[in-house]
Amino acid sequence: MRIRAAVLLLFAVKCLTAWSTAGAVIARIDTTHPARPISRYEYGMFIENLGQLVYRSLWAEMLDDRKFFLPIRPMQATTPRKPAKGFARVFVLRHWRPIGPPAAITMDRRDPFVGAHSPRIALAGPQPRGIRQSGLALVAARHYAGYIYLRGSPGARVQVTLRWGAGRTARQRVSVGPLDRNYQRFAFDFTAGQSTARARFEITATGAGQYHIGTVSLMPTDNIDGFRRDTVELLRQLRSGFWRLPGGNFVSDFNWYASVGPRDKRPPFLDHAWNAVQSNDVGLDEFMTLCRLLHVAPYVTVNAGFGDAHSAAAEVRYLNAPPGTRLGALRARNGHPQPYGVKFWNIGNEPYGPWELGHTSLRDYLWKNNEFARAMRRADPSIVILASGAMPDEMTIEGIARKLGYSSDQIRLCSAQDWTCGYLRHSWGDFSGITEHWYARAGMRFDLARARAGLRVGHMEPGYVPTHQTVLEWVRAPSNRIRLKAEQWEAYERRFPAMRRKHIFMAIDEYAYTGAPATLKLALAYAMVFNEMLRHTNFLRMAAFTMGVSTIDYTRTAAVVNTTGLVFKLYRDHFGPGLRPVPVTGDSPQPSPQQQLVPGIAAQSAGSPTYPLDVQAALGPHRRHLVIAVVNATETAQPLVLRVRGAQLAQRGRDWAMTGAHLAAANRVGHRPQVHVSEYPVQLSRGALSVPPISITIYRFPLRRPAR
């Protein structure tokens, strides 16, 4: 009812034919100076193998540790822990436990099927012995299929069982065999008798002798090439342009050679960047398949941590070389004869950070970056290479100068600790673009004096302290990082005029507003981020949101687009590629920032000078219509007067409004959606609009006289 009331109120506001312009916000839109068109890569996504993130959200495999990296031990009695929050949940692995005496199970290192060892289980006549994994999620009447590799004594009689309840009828059992001395693949399938989040999968045997388990798999039969159908179909709707992968800290320990080939024979490993066990099922080819399923371009980050230039060039050849070449032929043998044609390549991830495996100084890393770039271009001259930069704001806010022993946390533009400037000074010709990362912490304020003293709150980086913010301050906070990035970039362009001649571009290929749930309030903040990024399309050509799956709310069996995904879809559908942003000015400047983070760079707030609204505008194809995106983070309708230079707006248009009954409104699995995008006809009244409260609205008006 609350949503219905909000929609009726919105409709009533839009039906007003007259609106007093007294005290209205004025937006002056200049259609005579359009910027570079919005790139199809402005709404990209980033994903990495952070713990079990990929395997929980995208990959359809239901069994953890299916290649038996960990030993099989009885469950120990422990004190119950509080449920994990946020990304911590992706680190939780379900373990295999013994059925029968634990001493009957040996992790046999002699001739393992894959990895360091395989389970060997000694039998004792009619007593079932084997292993089980609990906590699987099933949906009633859904079909599941799997397989298992086994070898052992001919007298071993093996069964696999799926249990969804305690009774004898609440299970399905399949016999497999007979066994011999060589590993064989046995298939099985089940139909779940009821829905549960506590199902159990068992492998047991009776008889004489012993048996080895090589590996085992179980997936819902509606998977698409191994990926979850539900999450893939939702993410495809976002039309994200590209996904950056595998990316992140994970890539500094990633061996791409071991990530290709038959999936069951790829060894599992411990990812040292995140201290997490990886099954190694989603490798290079699977990531390329994911991009195909999502209809996006792949953007690959190579390992410049523990990796080397030769391996990076080989990775380029594996993905892009024709099948007649050595590595192209290897790709073809792995089932992918056609080259993937990956265009965008990123050298390393956050190499400036001491947290990165293989971290080194800027001076030494520049040598490494240049070696990588030259080797990769020899492998494929057509690729676009991006260097991994960090401007002074990133070096300051992340406290990197202090961690590296420098005397000050406030780094000046083009000082010795400015990584982005380092590339501009010493790596010309070895990159086409430079990447930047930023993360804003919800409800936190960065205090430079506390950062210099190394003072921290909990596990936050030094300098962050809780702060009370108005809704407008909270919503604007992350977009301030975009404005600061843009100001620094423009300062680089003044120092290095060749940047414009050579069309060097910026890619913000990791960003997020962390520590806040996906609600309408967070969507308002991301809409302001989009508006700010789109003010700088002349050089900001790519952006990748962290993480791509943060745009959906998902459980192990269901998923919906959340409010973050909804605002991405709204902008991609109605303020997307091909539009040309135009300047917006006004008489109501945004409040000034409290702190100057980068000496010599003026501190300016993000947003258009249309406070309390944020307004961005763009010309459509052939200059036949004008599109206007407006963020209203206040709880009252706001009058907005449009004054357009260089064109005349038609009085009637359309709008798409995203709103809900309150700021905490959210879209979650198992609940009725609380936030919607609704389309309406709209009519100007004396050049004025009424912008609904707590809303993101995109207006589209035909132009009576095309802008020139």
The predicted-structure confidence for 148-159, as pLDDT tens digits, reads as follows: 999 999 999 999
Residue 84 has pLDDT above 50, yes or no: no
Question: What residue spans of 427-552 are helical by DSSP H?
Answer: 448-453, 471-495, 498-501, 520-533
pLDDT digits 0-9 by tens, 179-219: 999 999 999 999 999 999 999 999 999 999 999 999 999 99
DSSP class of residue 182?
S
Are 553 and 668 contacting, i.e. CB atoms less than 8 angstroms apart?
Answer: yes
In which band, very low, low, confident or very high, does the pLDDT at 78 lie, cut at 50, 70 and 90? very low
Domains of the chain, earliest start first: 2-37+585-705 (2.60.40.1180), 44-58+224-445+473-579 (3.20.20.80), 86-220 (2.60.120.260)
pLDDT (tens digit per residue) in 653-693? 999 999 999 999 999 999 999 999 999 999 998 889 999 99
Q: How many CB atoms lie within 10 A of CB 201?
A: 23
DSSP-derived letter for residue 283 is -
- pTM confidence score: 0.92
Q: pLDDT tens across 303-339, in order? A: 999 999 999 999 999 999 999 999 999 999 999 999 9
Going by pLDDT thresholds of 50, 70 and 90, the confidence category of residue 75 is confident
Q: Does the pLDDT at position 13 exceed 70?
A: no
Integer CA distances (angstroms), 5 to 42, 522, 523, 524, 696, in order: 34, 22, 21, 20, 18
Residues 6+ apart with CB under 8 A from 250: 48, 49, 50, 271, 273, 274
Contacts of 173 (CB under 8 A, 6+ apart): 159, 160, 161
For residue 223, what are the CA distances in angstroms to 186, 193, 292, 560? 19, 19, 15, 17
Torsion over CA: 450, 452, 455, 459 (sign):
positive
- pLDDT of the residue at 705: 65
**Cα–Cα distance, 561 to 550 (Å, whole number):** 9
- The answer to whether 598 and 392 have CB atoms below 8 angstroms apart is yes
Q: What is residue 708's predicted lDDT score, i.e. its pLDDT?
A: 52
When pLDDT is cut at 50, 70 and 90, the band that residue 136 belongs to is: very high
Of the pLDDT bands very low, low, confident and very high (cuts 50, 70, 90), residue 86 is very low
Instruction: Please answer whether residues 696 and 567 qualify as being in contact, where contact means their C-beta atoms are separated by less than 8 angstroms.
Output: yes
CA distances from 502 to 397, 433, 477, 496, 539 (A): 30, 10, 32, 11, 11
Q: Which pair of structure tokens corresponds to residue 219? A: 């997936």
